[in-house]
Structure 1
Amino acid sequence: MSTPTDPAHEDAEALTALVTRLTDAAAAAPADGVAIEGAAAAVAAVDRPGGGISRAVAGSTTLFSGDGTRLPTGSAEGGPVHEDTLFDMASVTKVVTTLTAATLIEDGLLDPEAPIAEHLDSPHPRITARQLLTHTAGLPPVMSIWQIPGDRRAKLEAISRATLDAEPGTAHAYSCIGFILLGTLLEELTGLSLPQLARRRVLDPAGATGAGWAPPAQQASRAAATEIQDDPPRGLVRGSTHDETAWSLGGAGNAGLFATLEDALALGRVLVGRAPGPTFSAPVLDLLTRDQLSGTISTGAPWRQGFGLRIGQETAPGTVIPQVVGHPGFTGTSVLADPSTGAVAVLLTNRVHPRRTRFTVDHARRELARLAVG
């Protein structure tokens, strides 16, 4: 039985305070106004080796209706959040795409130094998988792919004609376009769609069996609502990919994954070698968890860059825990892992509900890092 001096008890109390603060702030805020720290739905967990898992859950899956007005208390549209609530993971998807690529590197099916033009149309003949994974390919951060007419192939062809912002290998610029190309490359190499490939090589082996792209319609009610979108004119998005580019492609390497709290923990355990699978050799782990940028290339942020993973986590402005790896997501999600201790921490929110400019979770992310690995 837990006592007030047990670390697990202290973790649980701190996590409960964190998610409750976020959801209480969102519930009390108007639909419009100055951005504040908050989220309609929030779950968090810390998993320490030998110390058990502490979890906290709070909020409502939907707080605002499709016209932006607040739903009445007890509305059937906005049920309570549970541990099995599905969250749009946004760029935490890049962790799964990265791990999928790592399994192909491990098996000798992907050469990270080879030009991707050997397998698919590329914006530049010298771009390599390494550069896509380290955001040094010179590609633009985003493109308005959803505004390009035509099917998925037409949109990917537009990406292949993208104008580079820098020569490949010379600068770091976080790029969702790069990870779309990476996902497409993995599909070309294997003949499988990225969701199928990730299921076989990462999600099922890790035990993240509830995670995946494009939840079936009957599961949409389990998803936390995200944004009311005007461009493209989708209205209130729930159970469908929030990221406009990934949505328009019907699945992509940069976003699109949905996951529960337990699924996200399972991904974190892969990063610290505590999952049943996949497993990686020391050289591949080194690519994932060590800085892969030369000393002359900066991220322009406190974190550094491994293969697909961010290395280093702020606990306060100017204070960084250097060994932590993981990734945040635009919708308000985060997965953090400390390979030195095996600790894993997860924060899942829908902070873009009802609009992406209304709420932030920056302080909560730092607070979680301080709690779990600080």
Structure 2
Amino acid sequence: MRIPALLVATTLVITTPAHATGGHEARFDRPHDGWAHSSVLRAGTPERVGLDPAPIDAALDRVEQYTRPDATGHPLFAGAVTLLAHEGTVVTHEPTGWAVRYGDGSAVELPEDQRVPMTRDTIFDLASISKLFTSIVVMRQHELGRFELDDPVAEHLPEFGVNGKSSITVEQLLTHTSGLVAWLPLWSRYPDVPSRVKAVMDTTPVNPPGTAYVYSDLNLITLGLLAQKWSGTPLDVLVREGITAPLGLKDTGYNPPASKLDRIAATEYQAGRGVVRGVVHDENAWSLGGVAGHAGMFSTARELAVLGQAILNGGSYGGRRILRPDTVELMLTDFNQAFPGNSHGLGFELDQRWYMGALTSPRAAGHTGFTGTTLVLDPLSRSIAILLTNRVHPSRDWGSINPARRAVANGLAQAMAVKPRHGTAHTPTAGGATLTTRALEQRPGQRKLVFDAFVDLDPGDSVVVEATDDGATWREVRVLTGYGQRRWQRVEVVTEAAVAFRWRYVQGTGYGGRGAYVDSVRITDRRGVLLDAEREPVGLHSEGWRVADR
């Protein structure tokens, strides 16, 4: 995924040089093994850690544009805070737009003197990112020997084991393979907390346990209750004592105090509640007192990044450990290989292109939240991408922010180099672009095409290697696909009597990856070298490819 040119097939174009200092350059094509070694996050610049600032700036511009009204008459979201970190350095931490922008459910903005601007320390309702805190609490209980992953939940919470749920395991709750329904209207259908909890305990699975992936809030509500049962301690106290206090997080927790209201981003306008601000947006979590396994956590971008860095560090931060490294490894292991497209560790989502963008790999971990929050962790590059928005302010019906999520992740991925092994790079401007060798000497026998390739393409995208025997009709001899490995590979193609080869970029309908690169093109037959593109750069003809240098 020798000619003084590296030939690139990608829609993520890098045309500016790296601005690394001290000879260091961040490399997308050199993935890390093991955990990061950063003790604490520090402030810095993209250049300081070898990142190209231009793609990051472009991503920030995209986020800012989404805060402006579009053809619908309203913005995609009222405001946002974007934080990107690489190798333990926060390279950007930028607010834009408004934490409070509307006074009701309409698109009519408040007068500017009544709005509240976003700031770096704006506190957001994290929504379903709360599930990660619950999962960490649960796995801390696992470290204490309170349960095994394959334990039936009913062994620990007997009231759960009714209506076909007796075989559901703790692991299945953590991986959303329990068979439970996605959601119940607890807040409106049941009159009080005990009856709402009982409704979760009494629910009947919609699928046999372990047979399907269904993302369900009920899984995490149940896990929160399990953690309390195992420890004898309420969930909010477990989060505080086991996560936020050790990590030094002052603005992260449930039910933020009124003294912090002026720093909290508003969420949706709801009938009977008005513009929700300072209390959890999720109606079910609200009806459970603001503390629930699936929602309820509030935090800032910086403090969420601290949690992310602790995970990248293998469970510790600043000398304080919240999880053992083997536990973190377990949480980032895909337990859902039987359900393609729904890769999931223990609490963490894995390998989700729709919001992880070009940072996606089988190791990429994170979560999103309904209120407009996003956390992406990339262990391979030791990077963190956070986009916190109040996209439901004032309405949940104003559209998906997934393009903004991908833009942020893509910006960080593009800021890291895929380093040309020799010279410059080429990238196509659109699908169908081709890079073709000159006509080869016509002589009988087999031809061997050898080149280096780096491939990080969205499923559906490919670089097709083709050969022609007559200069007019092309036949496929190899297809380059795949993503997430981030390593160069040597490619060899042997075919009969081809008079030319070409690389054709096929662009699918996906979200895009970091790119596909070819280098060191050489063609031989039994009599010797027919083309060495390093020595003969004019031996490659481009249609729709352009030069890039990283």
Q: Normalising by the residue count of structure 2, what TM-score does the alignment of the two structures yield?
A: 0.62
Correspondences of 1:132-171 after superposition (within 5 Å): 132-171=173-212
| Aligned pair partner of 1:249 in 263, 272, 288 | 288
Question: Distance in 1 between the 2:222 and 2:333 partners?
Answer: 23
Q: Does 1:91 align with 2:128?
A: yes
Question: Distance in 1 between the 2:175 and 2:268 partners?
Answer: 29
Partner of residue 39, structure 2:
none
Question: Distance in 2 between the 1:355 and 1:80 partners?
Answer: 18
Contact 2:177 2:212 in 1 (8 A): yes
SS in 1 for 2:113: coil
Q: Which moved more, 1:236-245 or 1:204-213?
A: 204-213
Alpha-carbon RMSD:
2.5
Correspondences of 1:138-217 after superposition (within 5 Å): 138-217=179-258
SS in 2 for 1:321: coil
| Aligned pair partner of 2:268 in 224, 227, 231 | 227
Q: Does 1:351 align with 2:391?
A: yes
Partner of residue 367, structure 1:
407
Partner of residue 327, structure 2:
284
C-alpha change, 1:349 and 1:148, in structure 2 (3 Å) is same
| Aligned pair partner of 2:376 in 336, 352, 360 | 336
Q: Does 1:7 align with 2:46?
A: no
Partner of residue 540, structure 2:
none
Question: Distance in 1 between the 2:213 and 2:285 partners?
Answer: 22
SS in 1 for 2:68: helix
Question: Distance in 1 between the 2:267 and 2:283 partners?
Answer: 12
Question: Distance in 1 between the 2:156 and 2:354 partners?
Answer: 41
Question: Distance in 1 between the 2:116 and 2:374 partners?
Answer: 23
The one-letter code matched in structure 2 to 1:168 is: P
Contact 1:43 1:348 in 2 (8 A): yes
- Which is richer in helix? 1
Question: Distance in 2 between the 1:362 and 1:12 partners?
Answer: 17
Q: 1:195 deviation in Å?
A: 1.1
Larger Rg: 1 or 2? 2
Partner of residue 426, structure 2:
none
The one-letter code matched in structure 1 to 2:345 is: G
SS in 2 for 1:305: coil
Question: Distance in 1 between the 2:79 and 2:186 partners?
Answer: 29
Contact 2:141 2:230 in 1 (8 A): no
SS in 1 for 2:306: helix
Q: 1:214 deviation in Å?
A: 0.7
Contact 1:202 1:278 in 2 (8 A): no
Identity %: 32
C-alpha change, 1:351 and 1:3, in structure 2 (3 Å) is closer
The one-letter code matched in structure 2 to 1:83 is: R
Q: 1:130 deviation in Å?
A: 0.7
| Aligned pair partner of 1:239 in 278, 293, 315 | 278
- Which is richer in strand? 2
Q: 1:234 deviation in Å?
A: 1.7
| Aligned pair partner of 2:116 in 61, 79, 87 | 79
| Aligned pair partner of 2:67 in 2, 5, 23 | 23
Q: 1:155 deviation in Å?
A: 0.6
Q: Normalising by the residue count of structure 1, what TM-score does the alignment of the two structures yield?
A: 0.89
C-alpha change, 1:205 and 1:29, in structure 2 (3 Å) is farther
Contact 1:39 1:350 in 2 (8 A): yes
Q: 1:225 deviation in Å?
A: 0.9
Correspondences of 1:94-109 after superposition (within 5 Å): 94-109=131-146
Q: 1:66 deviation in Å?
A: 2.2
Q: 1:202 deviation in Å?
A: 1.3
Partner of residue 110, structure 1:
147
The one-letter code matched in structure 1 to 2:335 is: Q
Q: 1:50 deviation in Å?
A: 5.2
Contact 1:289 1:309 in 2 (8 A): yes
Contact 1:15 1:56 in 2 (8 A): no
| Deviation per residue, 1:151-200 (Å, 9 max, x gap) | 21111001111121111122111001110011111011112111110111
SS in 1 for 2:80: strand
SS in 1 for 2:215: coil
Contact 1:44 1:348 in 2 (8 A): yes
The one-letter code matched in structure 2 to 1:176 is: D
The one-letter code matched in structure 2 to 1:235 is: G
Question: Distance in 2 between the 1:46 and 1:254 partners?
Answer: 25
C-alpha change, 1:81 and 1:17, in structure 2 (3 Å) is same
Q: 1:72 deviation in Å?
A: 3.6
Question: Distance in 2 between the 1:152 and 1:316 partners?
Answer: 34
The one-letter code matched in structure 2 to 1:308 is: G
Partner of residue 83, structure 2:
45
Q: Does 1:275 align with 2:339?
A: no
C-alpha change, 1:141 and 1:325, in structure 2 (3 Å) is same
SS in 1 for 2:84: strand
Q: Does 1:64 align with 2:113?
A: no
Question: Distance in 2 between the 1:186 and 1:132 partners?
Answer: 13
The one-letter code matched in structure 2 to 1:163 is: T
Q: Which moved more, 1:274-283 or 1:253-262?
A: 274-283
Contact 1:145 1:245 in 2 (8 A): yes
SS in 2 for 1:54: strand
Question: Distance in 2 between the 1:151 and 1:344 partners?
Answer: 40
